[in-house]
Amino acid sequence: MRRPTLGFLLVAACSGAQPDPVEDAGPLDSGARDAGSPRDAGSARDAGARDSGTFDAGAPPFVPPLGPLTIKKGAGSVLSDAWLVTLSHSDVPADARIAELGDYLPDSGWLRAVGDGYGVGIIGHTHYAIPRASPSMFTNLSVSTLIDEGIDAGWWPARPSDAGTLVWLAVYGPNALPENHFSGEHFANGARVLGWVAPRADGGAGWYQTVLAHEVIEALTDPRFNAYFTTSDPLFNYVPGGGNLSGEVADLCQRFPAAEERGFWLPPSWSNRAAEAGRRPCVPLAPAQYGTLWGPTAAVVLSPGQSVDVALPAVGDLASWDVQLAPAGNQSDFTDVTLRSTRATPGTPLVATFRAHFFAAPGSVADFLLVSAADSGYPGVTPLRFTVR
């Protein structure tokens, strides 16, 4: 979960509205025109070669490697030996289920699925009851203070386990209001990794379970906001599950529904392994066919007057699906992307032409999205970014 400006949205996992890139596709229907007019497509390619020869200072276009959208690990560490400590106030509904969930998570199929490839794990869990009701309002500092207060009062030991790295999670009742109005958050305070869960009266016991598990997988994969954290990578700004408020693995999938496992409602989370295998990257989700395009893993770089054709691999188990092009984020005059076709077929690359016209300003950045339509079984998004040198 993100720092104070970012966090688990106060919405059900499948309810939040997102920017609709398909609706924005109209102004960028040039892809469809290129696809329908061989003469135009040929002209674009010819123009690219002519511009390169006339205007380029000598450096050819740069096209980075193509591949799936995956979260790159930062310099920070993940937690492979977490010992989960849950603390419940007396007004938390179904407190016994919170304790049972903490006991279940270490060996759960859910953790195997969402943690696959990240090197994370939970080795145990301890649950403690807080002998009082939740405060009406609290902050992150309140959670640290609560832990110290409980140690001093003998409600729990300073180290509930001698094994592993402790992850403290305080659970608040439905009337407690966090200062940042999120439903949950995790953070680090000195040597401690800690967090809180406060869904309020908007989902019942199942929503408590979903938010708690959301914070658990993010505390494991990004305990100090420097491991698997996406906010420095603009390619993740428009993934379908989280939108442009995404930061960590569960954030990227928070608008998809939770899945039931052994009576617990557990959230989907971003899987690099699934993305690399050409499957839907949010796991677990109900089975469905999938199709997407793999794009440049960094920005394409052009000089004014250059263009370049990039053959984007189509992957998935669908026979074919519609693709639409839409502007996103940064836009710059005299830069554009067009498509050779608006139908993707696995095994046949879809050609996108990146073009920086002669008047494009050096240093400018342009962002576009390729959106796999609803018949792909998942609203897959392929970000396309290029810069003008």
Q: What is the mean pLDDT of the chain?
A: 84
Average of per-residue pLDDT across 202-217 = 92
Helices (H), the chain: 30-36, 38-55, 95-104, 109-115, 140-153, 204-221, 272-276
Average of per-residue pLDDT across 216-240 = 89
More confident residue, 142 or 329: 142
Separation CA 278–CA 293 (nearest Å): 9
More confident residue, 126 or 330: 126
How far is Cα of residue 117 from the mean position of the Cα atoms in its chain? 16
Q: What local confidence, expressed as pLDDT, does residue 243 receive?
A: 62
Burial class (CB in 10 A: 0-12, 13-18, 19+), 18: middle
Separation CA 92–CA 90 (nearest Å): 6
Q: What local confidence, expressed as pLDDT, does residue 190 receive?
A: 92
- Please report which confidence band the pLDDT of residue 45 belongs to, taking 50, 70 and 90 as the band edges: very low
Percent of the chain's residues with pLDDT above 90: 67
Q: What local confidence, expressed as pLDDT, does residue 242 receive?
A: 73
> What is the tens place of the pLDDT at every residue in 305-326?
999 999 999 998 889 999 999 8
> What is the tens place of the pLDDT at every residue in 322-374?
999 988 888 888 999 999 999 999 999 999 999 999 999 999 999 998 988 77
- Please report which confidence band the pLDDT of residue 41 belongs to, taking 50, 70 and 90 as the band edges: very low
- Burial per residue of 267-281, b for 16 or more beta-carbon CB atoms within 10 angstroms, e otherwise: bbbbbbebbbebbbb
Separation CA 63–CA 306 (nearest Å): 12
- Please report which confidence band the pLDDT of residue 58 belongs to, taking 50, 70 and 90 as the band edges: low
> What is the tens place of the pLDDT at every residue in 265-293?
999 999 999 999 988 899 998 888 888 99
> What is the tens place of the pLDDT at every residue in 86-118?
999 999 998 999 999 999 999 999 999 999 999
For residue 356, the SS3 value is: strand
Domains observed in the chain: 23-68+289-388 (2.60.40.10), 82-277 (3.40.390)
Q: Are 208 and 261 in contact (CB under 8 A)?
A: no
Q: What local confidence, expressed as pLDDT, does residue 234 receive?
A: 78
Separation CA 73–CA 228 (nearest Å): 5
Burial class (CB in 10 A: 0-12, 13-18, 19+), 319: exposed
Q: What local confidence, expressed as pLDDT, does residue 48 receive?
A: 37
Full DSSP string of 72-130 = PB-SS---SSEEEEEEE-TT-TTHHHHHHHHHHGGG-HHHHHHHTTTT--EEEEEEEE-
Evaluate if residue 222 carries a pLDDT over 70. Answer: yes
Evaluate if residue 8 carries a pLDDT over 70. Answer: no
> What is the tens place of the pLDDT at every residue in 24-33?
333 333 333 3
Separation CA 183–CA 196 (nearest Å): 8
Q: pTM here?
A: 0.82
Going by C-alpha positions, the residue among 250, 247, 262 that lies closest to residue 206 is 262
Q: What local confidence, expressed as pLDDT, does residue 245 receive?
A: 61
